[in-house]
Amino acid sequence: MATQQYKAWSVVIMSTLAFTVCFMIWMMFAVIGVPIKAQLGLNETEFGILVATPVLTGSLIRVPLGMWTDKFGGRIVFFILMLTTVIPIWMISYATAFWHFLAVGLFVGMAGGSFTVGIAYCARWFPKQRQGLAMGIFGAGNTGAAVTKLLAPIIVIGYGWTMVPKVYAVLMAVTAIVFWFFTYSEPSHKVGKHVTLREQLAAFKDPKVWRYSQYYSIVFGGYVALALWMTKYYVSEYGFDLKTAAMLAAAFSIPGGLLRAIGGHFSDKFGAHTMTWWVLWISLVCLFFLSYPQSDISIQTVNGPVTFHFGLNATLFTIIMFTLGIVFALGKASVFKYISDDYPDNIGVVSGVVGLAGGLGGFLMPIMFGALVDLTGIRSSAFMLMFGVVWVSLMWMYWTEVRPMDAERELKRVKFADRME
């Protein structure tokens, strides 16, 4: 008979594998969207809507999925969720009009809701002091975005973009079956019938949940938005072909997934607040440099005008994006460490609410990226938008966490000084 430890690690490993496949499918429009854009003659805003549509349903479904996970267990919810997406994924290959892709994309997007199911399913198999690591390992499934950028272009070049959904549909079906046979159920992990729907939805009234949602809207929502946008950005900004652009874009996606496990470990060790604080500051610095558009500045000198060019070349851009991918990975783990610390008995619902906010960020930002490019003609305006979001998150954290902590430390110092006198 399998030991509890064996079951716990089997659940984490298989859930991570399943989530990787789900994320591959959730992000496939990042690659196949480029030839579809050319085929349909879409503008930047329409392209943003195309790639973001699956993210919408993957976000909206997270709260009910979190509630069902708490009620019925993660294994059955995860399994059914994967099976329900197989036919919609296959149907993408038969779409011919813009609205066809949007309609089918809404159903395919349900695969993105797997995160909320898996995060609660995995966390409950481990003690509190190791939940950050378990959730971080599971969250490494975000590397599915990078896998898509490496695999999908090969399929597109060899067989056309319509083959990608067919391959992914078969992959999803096989993964669901393997997942079922190598995972386990634990009745004690369910919240029980005594917990009402009203009690579960009370998370929406908690200001801390909204604060964590804001953080997650940038570290996860920003990650999803950029994972969807970067292939197209490399093609438009630097003139790379689809395969090269996708491989360079993977430099952002790979650390954004793989290092999430390390972020979970560091969050267990140093605390969610410390990790998130530094993640936001480093993100702000990276986005400052990414925001600067390609510019030529002329200065009048005694010898005539001298022109200087400012702007990131492809190499520097990729290095900064790689750094941003690392800090986003750490931040995704640290935000969920907040949740496991503060809501150990309600992880499913709270992670659903926070995941909803992150997913909506991933849905809205690509559309806003496209609209900003159409309005301003500046491709780096996408990073300007994200810079503003990070700044808001930092200010919110400062006034609600840093200031109260400083006041508490000062009070303790004064009390200690009084006792010494």
For tokens 């907040």, the residue is 338
Give a yes or no: residue 191 inside a domain. no
Give a yes or no: residue 14 inside a domain. yes
pLDDT at residue 41, rounded to an integer: 92
Give a yes or no: residue 249 inside a domain. yes
Give a yes or no: residue 140 inside a domain. yes
163 burial (CB, 10 Å; 0-12 / 13-18 / 19+) is middle
pLDDT at residue 52, rounded to an integer: 86
Cβ neighbours of 252 (radius 10 Å)? 24
Q: What is the DSSP string of 44-72?
A: HHHHHHHHHHHHHHHHHTHHHHHHHHHHH
Q: What is the SS3 assignment for 108?
A: helix
User: First vs last Cα of the chain: how many Å apart?
Assistant: 63
- What are the angstrom distances between the C-alpha of 61 and each of 51, 81, 146? 18, 11, 24
Range of the domain at 205: 4-186+201-296+306-420
Calculate the CA 351 to chain-centre distance: 13
Give a yes or no: residue 301 inside a domain. no
Q: CATH number for the domain including 253?
A: 1.20.1250.20
Q: What is the SS3 assignment for 379?
A: coil
Q: Report yes or no: 55 and 109 within 8 Å, Cβ to Cβ.
A: yes
- Picking from 60, 394, 380, 349, the residue whose alpha carbon sits closest to that of residue 201 is 349
Q: How far apart are CA 72 and CA 327, in angstroms?
A: 34
Provide the angle, in degrees to the nearest 10, between the axes of the packed helices 144-159 and 242-258.
160
Give a yes or no: residue 196 inside a domain. no
Q: What is the mean pLDDT, run by run of 10 residues, along the chain of 421 residues?
A: 81 93 90 90 89 86 83 90 95 93 92 86 81 79 83 91 95 96 79 58 76 88 87 88 87 76 80 89 95 85 82 90 91 83 73 81 88 89 92 89 75 64 60
What total number of domains does the chain contain? Answer: 1
Give a yes or no: residue 192 inside a domain. no
pLDDT at residue 205, rounded to an integer: 75
pLDDT at residue 89, rounded to an integer: 95
- Picking from 113, 167, 89, the residue whose alpha carbon sits closest to that of residue 363 is 113
Give a yes or no: residue 311 inside a domain. yes
Q: Residue 310's beta-bridge partner residues? A: 295
Q: Report yes or no: 197 and 349 within 8 Å, Cβ to Cβ.
A: no
